[in-house]
Amino acid sequence: MKKFLKALPVWIWGILFALLVATFFSNDFGLVDLQKTALVLAAGIDREEEDFVLTAQIALPAASQSGGGASMEITGRGATVADCLSEIHARTGWVPKLIYCDLIVLGESATVNVFDGLNFFLRNEYIPDACRLAACEGSAQALLSSASAVGDTSAIALGTLFSDAAQKSGLVMPTTLREFAIGTFGASASGYMPYVRAVPQEEDSPQQGGQTEGGQSGQSEQPDASQQGGQKILYSAQETALFAGGSLVAVLTPEETLAFSLLEGNVYAGTLAADGATYLILQDSGAVGIGAPPDMALHVDCTLQRCGENETSSPEELPAGTLSAKEEERLSELLTGYLASLWETCAQSGCDLFFFRRSLWRADPKEYAAWKDVPLADLSVRLSASVKSLR
Amino acid sequence: MKLSSRQVCFFLAAVSPVGKMVLLPARLAETAQNDLLFPVLAHLLIQAALIFCVLLLSRRERTLCALVKGAAGNAAAKIVCTLFAAFLLFAAFLPIVEQKIMVRSIFYDTLPAHLVFAPFFLLSAYLASRPLRTLGRMWDILAPLFVLGMAGILVLAAGSCDLGALSPAGAAGAGAFGSGVRITCAWFFDSALLLALIGHFPYSKGLAWKGTLCYLGGGALLLLFLAVFYGVFGEVAVLQTVAFARISAFFSAMTVLGRIDYLFLFALAFVMAFFAILPLQEAVGTLTEAFGTPRLAPLFSVGANVLMLAAVYALHFFPSGSVAAVTQTLFWIFPLFTALLPLLLLLLFGRRPHEKIS
């Protein structure tokens, strides 16, 4: 070290000293100025003719009455998503920081050629590819601007809907930007994301604090920002939007979403309702088999326990919750019907949800070349579900 | 004090792989798609054979400069060493540019100022002025950090990895394999890095085999990393410019625990910083030995670093162009110094008649 210090001429020391002083007094080169930084929690994309409308939900450093985080929504318009962000910057003076953006919502108008807008997020190295994607009824701007009944910030309420726990219930099939991009740019050119509907909470509703209105969400009307006023909103993401070639082609019903979730083997402690009884799904394994084309097999195996009924049971029957052989058969038929409906929706819409073409490509590129243009509806598919009772 | 054979093995197994984990995976995915493992495997096997040769050369326990001087005289030694040092400076450009890209991408959450990377050259100037024998202690520290960092990111990435994305093997074709090998030449100059170190460590029995096996061990880890990388990103792998920092971000518990993967990323980034400086340090070491002026090492070091800083910032707004120039236009320089020079030296100073290889 001494040799090093002695051997350096004075002018080099001068340069080093100047560099250190510049670094020290640079205010971190003006990099982080919290007063001028907008932490974007969620982004909503809508289209207006050729233009994009980007709604950024921004975290505010103010505590809210309910203890959650406060937020506000700012909208920018432009020819590209980057243009929209520039407009937000120009209007507010805040630099939108997207590293904490955990959710991207696509409004109805933005569900055609979704990567026109998503490419910005995919390309930008300061945006996590792990952020969740969702499509919504109506506009993404209205959805993000709505006042959630379970929290102050719609993005946080929606994030809760896409949690691992929600996924295990089988009610929702969340996806990330990375997974969706891999599916879309792969051989199958298909993907999926949850389809969100906003459900106004009735003033006199007994439901409070986080209970959702599952099952009826498909019939609710989409409120827009002007209609909502101070009304609290609940969100339902039990449906799943299917995409082929980057555009929305169909929406799966909650039953089809459950079947898809069971096929993926995601469900643990979810419930299945049938014939006035409710069953707890204790174990689930699904399999998508692809044989010599055109042969495909979708199979689900579940172990269920009866956990609720709409009639009185004797105390002796209550603890066991076992299913009779007839119930097992009936539920197997029900799930097979869900699978059939799921396959029908995929085949009709052209969404290769089970990555049939990708599997073919990986197994044998020649077979893939022969079958890649064959419509999914022409494939022979075997569907089966096997329900077993907890013993 | 010299380097020990253990420390050389640490370098081969745990320091040399980190230089290939930043830009190489995405570039290779762009060229060879799902067959990205094959060009790297080819390079690893060639480099392993060359490392075996260089380690055989090290049995003479004479430095590169001393070997050339003994055979062809002082002037030739100066010419060869100057050329070799110039090559090492050239080879240092890519790791330092990668280091800059990595720092700007993963250590900041918005685009940082241009000069944030400049202080790196202060550390580099200091280290490059140190004698080559000081590398040993550094490698003793860096090797466990590499193992920790690598194990951490691979474990975190395992859950989101679909190794089926690597199928079908060979689909990219021979052309893609050839292009893959060509554009990755700039990342495989480990035999040249080792060549600069011969004479600075004693040859112990079996070191040639042990060193080669260690290099292959590190190479196997690199292949595993590339497989996991492509398994995580598949068709969008080409977009992931800082590969090692991206694969572990999808661990499901991250939402609760926060970005714990940064612990492992920092460990790897620390190793990378020293790897990026190594060619500069070796260039300075080779020059000072060739010209017999160890006292001027600090000046050589500052000169080399100022030159590098000027090159890096002059090409600041041409990142793709400058990387392409090294990897695609000037790639042929690498085989000259990583393969031709060691083989030539081995021919001249290799095994003598009736000498056993131990």
Q: pLDDT digits over A93-130, tens only? A: 888 888 889 999 999 999 999 999 999 999 888 888 88
Chain A residues within 8 angstroms (CB to CB) of chain B:
3-4, 7-9, 12, 16, 19-20, 22-23, 26, 29-31, 95, 97, 99, 122-123, 125-126, 128-130, 163-164, 176, 178, 181-182, 185-186, 361-365
pLDDT of residue B255: 73
Residue A172 lies in a domain: yes
B310 touches chain A (CB under 8 A): no
Which residue from B109, B116, B236 is facing A185, i.e. has the nearest CB?
B236
Helix, strand, or coil (residue B155): helix
Distance between first and last Cα of chain A: 75
Reply yes or no on whether the pLDDT at A215 is more than 70: no
**H helices, E strands: number in chain B:** 17, 0
Number of domains comprising chain B: 1
Q: Which residue has the tokens 């980007």?
A: A54
Q: What is the distance between the alpha carbons of residues B338 and B125, in angstroms, rounded to a whole number?
A: 25
Domain of B136: which CATH number?
1.10.4160.10
Region at A27 (left for phi over 0; alpha for psi -120 to 50; beta for the rest): left
pLDDT of residue A226: 41
- Residues counted in chain A: 391
Together in a domain, A184 and A309: no
Together in a domain, A86 and A234: yes
Average pLDDT of span A61-66: 57
Residue B355 lies in a domain: no
Helix, strand, or coil (residue B198): coil
pLDDT of residue A276: 84
Q: Strand (E) positions, chain A?
A: 37-48, 51-63, 69-78, 95-97, 103-106, 132-136, 147-148, 190-200, 232-244, 247-252, 270-274, 277-290, 295-309, 380-389
Together in a domain, A45 and A71: yes
Reply yes or no on whether the pLDDT at A20 is more than 80: no
pLDDT of residue A266: 83
pLDDT of residue A248: 96
Closest CA relative to residue B323, chosen from B101, B46, B128, B47? B101
Together in a domain, A242 and A265: no
Residue span of the structural domain in which B319 resides: 5-349
Residue B356 lies in a domain: no
**Out of A215-219, A311-315, B318-322, which region has the weakest mean confidence (pLDDT)?**
A215-219
Beta partners for residue A251, in sequence order: A241
Q: Which residue has the tokens 């419509």?
A: A375
Residue A277 lies in a domain: yes
pLDDT of residue A29: 56
Report residues of chain B scoring pLDDT below 70: 1, 350-358
Residue A182 lies in a domain: yes
pLDDT of residue A6: 67
Three-point CA angle B3, B5, B9, nearest 5°: 110
Residue B122 lies in a domain: yes
Top residue of B236, B250, B259 to mutate, by most chain A CBs within 10 Å, is B236
Reply yes or no on whether the pLDDT at A225 is more than 50: no
Residue A10 lies in a domain: no
Residue B358 lies in a domain: no
**Out of A10-14, A177-181, A305-309, B188-192, which region has the weakest mean confidence (pLDDT)?**
A10-14
Q: Which residue has the tokens 């990375």?
A: A178
Which residue from B108, B165, B302 is facing A12, i.e. has the nearest CB?
B302
Domain of A288: which CATH number?
3.30.300.210
pLDDT of residue B355: 52
Together in a domain, A196 and A259: no
Give yes or no for a contact between B121 and B305, defined as CB atoms under 8 angstroms apart: yes
B309 touches chain A (CB under 8 A): no
B108 touches chain A (CB under 8 A): yes
pLDDT of residue A60: 77
List of residues 6+ apart from A23 with CB closer than 8 A: B115, B118, B119
Residue span of the structural domain in which A56 resides: 34-202+228-246
Q: Which residue has the higher pLDDT, A108 or A207?
A: A108
Together in a domain, A172 and A313: no
The pTM (predicted TM-score) of the whole model is: 0.87
Q: What is the distance between the alpha carbons of residues A75 and A53, in angstroms, rounded to a whole number?
A: 7
Helix, strand, or coil (residue B259): coil
Top residue of B103, B109, B156, B300 to mutate, by most chain A CBs within 10 Å, is B109
Together in a domain, A285 and A235: no
Together in a domain, A237 and A315: no
- pLDDT range class, residue A227, cuts 50, 70, 90: very low
Most confident listed range (A57-61, A161-165, B196-200, B255-259): B196-200
Amino acid at A9: P
pLDDT of residue A96: 86
Closest CA relative to residue A151, chosen from A242, A59, A269, A268? A59
Residue A6 lies in a domain: no
pLDDT of residue A233: 87
Together in a domain, A90 and A198: yes
- pLDDT range class, residue A26, cuts 50, 70, 90: low
Q: What is the distance between the alpha carbons of residues B68 and B81, in angstroms, rounded to a whole number?
A: 9
Together in a domain, A101 and A153: yes
Top residue of B30, B103, B160, B239 to mutate, by most chain A CBs within 10 Å, is B239
- pLDDT range class, residue A217, cuts 50, 70, 90: very low
C-alpha dist (Å) from residue B263 to A164, B152, B258, B269? 24, 9, 11, 10
Which residue from A23, A122, A163 is facing B239, i.e. has the nearest CB?
A122
C-alpha dist (Å) from residue A348 to A193, A288, A352, B18? 18, 19, 10, 49
Residue A17 lies in a domain: no
Together in a domain, A194 and A315: no
- Counting other chains too, the contacts that A24-28 makes at CB distance below 8 Å and 24 or more residues apart are A26/B113, A26/B115
Together in a domain, A275 and A314: yes
Residue A349 lies in a domain: yes
Region at A30 (left for phi over 0; alpha for psi -120 to 50; beta for the rest): left
Number of domains comprising chain A: 2
**Average pLDDT, whole number, for chain A?**
83
Residue A39 lies in a domain: yes
Q: Which residue has the tokens 């100025």?
A: A33
Average pLDDT of span A64-88: 82
Most confident listed range (A81-85, A289-293, B115-119): A81-85
